[in-house]
Amino acid sequence: MPFAHKTRVAVLRGGPSSEYEVSLKSGETVLKNLPAKYKPIDVFISRAGVWHVGGMEKKPAEALKHVDVVFVALHGQYGEDGKVQRILEHLGIPFTGSKSFASALAMNKHLTKNALGHLKDKIKFAMHKVFTRDEIKQKGTHEIFRIIPHPSIVKPLTAGSSVGITIVKTFFDLESALNRALEHSDSVIVEEFIEGREVTCGVVDNFRGQKTYPLFPIEIIPKTSFYDYHAKYVSDDTTYICPAKFDESVRQTIQEASKMIHESMGLRHYSRSDFIVHPKRGVYFLEVNTLPGMTSHSLIPKANDAGGFPLSEFFDHVLTLAVAHK
């Protein structure tokens, strides 16, 4: 049902996460690109998790008292792991992005792979092992090095934007890699490191006549050994090719996998899945992002632009879906 006034959109940004700075920039992009029919309300959440509107501290219910819909521009812990979604669900306010359960599931890389296990004949996964902080202390680096694939990539189990990630090629890399990952999560996931071309693919719900519409895949060519936080959000040296130049069969595999992941995980509105394309072994799924970045370096805006889908129209489409799903 249309609102009698300009639709009041609270844009949540910041938050108690290692991706705080990215979220501020994503939120700024949303605030600057909302169509004129919306009235934007900037809701800043501090690193301590305190909500602010107009510079004044507010409880979530008070901050959103006169809001019609929320655009969630948070990333990482609190914003992408189901916590803020549970708050919004409790308050009965429609919001963009996936619901709390699907968000929490997708934030955990191990649970994501388990949830997609029924697709193993259609989607390839890298070998992986998960270790808790206590298990790392108990086993020690020698035992862990013995049982993990080589080379490997060590990641926090629940973090995004490539924070805390290290490629481990020798035993001497492992201890610092584990410690770095544990700075961002109480568990780590150690995956087989697959050499290949990095690619990402976004999907959008109910767009251009499709239930789940795949955007153009984007190939990412970082200057460094892999697409880390610096390459994503700081460096201007990363090369992006959109649409990615793959054979038609590879492109279809990437797009179909992105659609299946989005639908099988119960995600909604939009998401972005990341892959590695090995020259001989094919396409491997890495992880899915339920609230991908919206900064000047981010990939969903690049794919939208390549597909003739301006950010203002994208935000309008997503907000329309959010209101309809109330």
Active-site residue, selected from the candidate residues 293, 298, 304, 307? 293
Measured CA to CA in angstroms, residue 10 lies from 6, 45, 85, 263, 313 at distances of 12, 12, 14, 27, 17
Q: Does 91 score more than 90 pLDDT?
A: yes
The structural domains of the chain, ordered by start, are 7-96 (3.40.50.20), 106-124+196-309 (3.30.470.20), 128-192 (3.30.1490.20)
Among 13, 272, 284, 307, the active-site one is 272
- Contact between 242 and 199 under an 8 Å Cβ cutoff? The reply is no
Q: Which of 80, 191, 228, 287 is catalytic?
A: 287
Catalytic residue among 17, 18, 19, 68: 19
Verify whether residue 228 is a known catalytic residue: no
Q: Which of 18, 161, 187, 298 is catalytic?
A: 161
Q: How far apart are alpha carbons 318 and 310 in whole angstroms?
A: 12
236 is catalytic: no
Is 264 catalytic? The answer is: no
Average pLDDT for 208-237: 76
Q: Which of 20, 187, 274, 307 is catalytic?
A: 274
Please say if 19 is a catalytic residue: yes
Write the pLDDT tens digit of every residue in 238-248.
899 999 999 99
Catalytic residue flag (residue 18): no
Is 179 annotated as catalytic?
Answer: no
Top mean-pLDDT range of 125-139, 253-267, 290-304: 253-267
Residue 195 a catalytic site member? no
Closest CA to 109 of 125, 86, 87: 125
User: CA-CA distance, 205 to 314, in Å (whole number)?
Assistant: 11
Name the pLDDT band for 1 (thresholds 50, 70, 90): very low
Tell me which of 84-93, 107-116, 180-189, 222-231 is least confident: 222-231
- pLDDT tens-place string over residues 167-212: 999 999 999 999 999 998 899 999 999 999 999 999 999 999 999 9
Q: Does residue 161 have an active-site annotation?
A: yes
Q: Which amino acid is at 32?
A: K
Give percent above pLDDT 70 in the chain: 93
322: left (phi over 0), alpha (psi -120 to 50) or beta: alpha
Active-site choice (23, 258, 289, 304): 289
3-state secondary structure of 320: helix
